[in-house]
Structure formats: structure tokens, C-alpha cells
Structure 1
Amino acid sequence: MAYTYRCRDYPGNESCPASFTAETASEVMKHVELHGEVAHGEDPKQWSQDDRQQVQKLIVAY
């Protein structure tokens, strides 16, 4: 089973074309954190627990 995340599904990021697919949800989360830092200028260490939970809800198995 693979997991995927589309950045445009996160509120406020509708114009971002990035998506990530990996074997595990935790691997996808690492890609999302790196993407947030590089592409959006965010510091993932500063993300609130609510932000992290919202991202995790958007990581879907297929």
C-alpha cells in the first residue's frame, strides 16, 4: 500500500502543484516537512499540533 499527499488540498495552498507518494505515511510526512520548508518558507518545527493533524488527515492510503 502507498500513501500520498497533495499540497493543494491544504487550505491556503490551492495553487501549489506538489504531491508526494511513498510507502509509508511517516515517509510522506518527511517529504511534506521538507517541502514546507523549501517551497513555502515555513519552519516545520513551528507547526502547531492542529496543523500537523490536518496534514496527517490529508495523507491518504491507496
Structure 2
Amino acid sequence: MSEAYTYACRDCEGMETCPGEVTAGSKDEVWKLMELHAVIAHNEDPSSWDEETRAYLSTLIRAK
């Protein structure tokens, strides 16, 4: 059985009230869904995220 990964937006500093959460079969898929969520729910441009931001966000992706 393959491992699943999850990201809950509320775990991100400043996003505590956001109900967005994604689960997928790989970290790469979770990243794509996180980026899509950021665009749709928060009007963010993920291409503007610097390496520090991406490193922080990667710590919020958890094995389920």
C-alpha cells in the first residue's frame, strides 16, 4: 500500500482560519494542489514564493 501525504492550510502561519486541506499519493501532487489552493483561495502567486517560504511549507506536508 502506498503512503499518502497531506497538507492543511490552517497549519501555515497566518492561515489558521482556512479550512483548505489536500491529500494525495505523493509529495509532488500535494505541492501542485497546495499551489492551486493558494491561487484560488488566497489569490497568491506560487511562483513568487522564495526558497525560504518553500522550505517552510515543505515542513507542513505530512505523511498520513
Q: Which ranges in structure 2 are unaligned for 5 or more consecutive residues?
A: none
Structure 1 residue runs without a partner (length 5+):
none
* TM-score for both structures, normalised by structure 1: 0.96
1:48 Cα deviation after fit: 1.0
Aligned to 2:14: 12
The percent identity for this pair of structures is: 47
Count of aligned positions: 62
Deviations 1:16-50 (A, max 9, x none): 00100000011000000011011101000001111
Paired with 1:26 and 1:36, the residues of 2 have a C-alpha distance of 15
Instruction: Name which one, 1 or 2, has greater alpha-carbon Rg.
Output: 2
Q: Could you state the TM-score of these two structures normalised by the residue count of structure 2?
A: 0.93
